[in-house]
Chains A and B, each alone.
Chain A
Amino acid sequence: DTAVSQTPKYLVTQMGNDKSIKCEQNLGHDTMYWYKQDSKKFLKIMFSYNNKELIINETVPNRFSPKSPDKAHLNLHINSLELGDSAVYFCASRKANKADTQYFGPGTRLTVL
């Protein structure tokens, strides 16, 4: 009964490849996010989706494209991978209220060689 799940957990790939990370939540939440954690453990918001609509898009390269086929899923597709994309990517979800907790997935560690 995992609340927020991500696949794959580890992803190792070559520069220039295209890859996707999948996220699913079974909590019935309205909003989903992608965060990036760099090598110094700093977490930064990348995208947010509310009821399948993109509502923020922080300054990330347009090689990153989030896609939400339905309210329970938010996938992240990355084109033309670069060395600097190596990081841990976390998916999260929450209900609508500002005070509601964000629940995080286990993370996907992406390594670009």
Chain B
Amino acid sequence: AQSVTQPDIHITVSEGASLELRCNYSYGATPYLFWYVQSPGQGLQLLLKYFSGDTLVQGIKGFEAEFKRSQSSFNLRKPSVHWSDAAEYFCAVVADSGAGSYQLTFGKGTKLSVIP
């Protein structure tokens, strides 16, 4: 069965510093990978996704992620963090439970705090 691991529960960075959030997946076939962000009290917004092609994927809000098959990783990066980036970040993989359902399996999330 597929699974996603986000090793860091909580990360604190200073505004302007670089950021890397880790994500490791377990999936037998070629994974379809997503990063979502959830601001406090809000729903989930897609940052970026990978399913084929270039392994470095650009997303919204200046985020990027790199797919590394050899390491089963899909880490999220941002060169300079803004205070508004403080939120919960979720990595997810698509799995097919049959009949094209393609539901998402999520990691447990990483909470990002930003120090002004």
Cβ of B44 and Cβ of A98 under 8 Å apart? no
Q: Which A residues, 69 to 113, have Cβ-Cβ distances below 8 Å to chain B?
A: 90, 92, 94, 96, 98-107
Note all chain B residues with C-beta closer than 8 A to A106.
42-43
Closest to A96 in B: B100
Cβ of A99 and Cβ of B51 under 8 Å apart? yes
Note all chain B residues with C-beta closer than 8 A to A44.
106
Cβ of A102 and Cβ of B104 under 8 Å apart? yes
Cβ of A41 and Cβ of B43 under 8 Å apart? no
Note all chain A residues with C-beta closer than 8 A to B109.
41-43
Does residue B80 face the partner (Cβ distance < 8 Å to A)? no
Note all chain B residues with C-beta closer than 8 A to A104.
36, 43-45
Take A98-B32, A105-B43, A106-B42 as given contacts and tell me if A55 and B108 are in contact as well, using a CB distance cutoff of 8 Å: no
Does residue A48 face the partner (Cβ distance < 8 Å to B)? yes
Assign chain B's interface to a size class: 20 to 34
Note all chain B residues with C-beta closer than 8 A to A98.
32, 51, 94, 96, 100, 102
Residue in B38, B99, B101, B103 whose Cβ sees the most chain A Cβ within 10 Å: B103
Give residues in A with beta carbon < 8 Å to B: 4, 31, 33, 35, 40-45, 48, 50, 53, 55-56, 90, 92, 94, 96, 98-107
Instruction: Give 4 A-B pairs besides A40-B108, A96-B100 with Cβ atoms closer than 8 angstroms.
Output: A4-B43, A99-B51, A103-B46, A104-B43
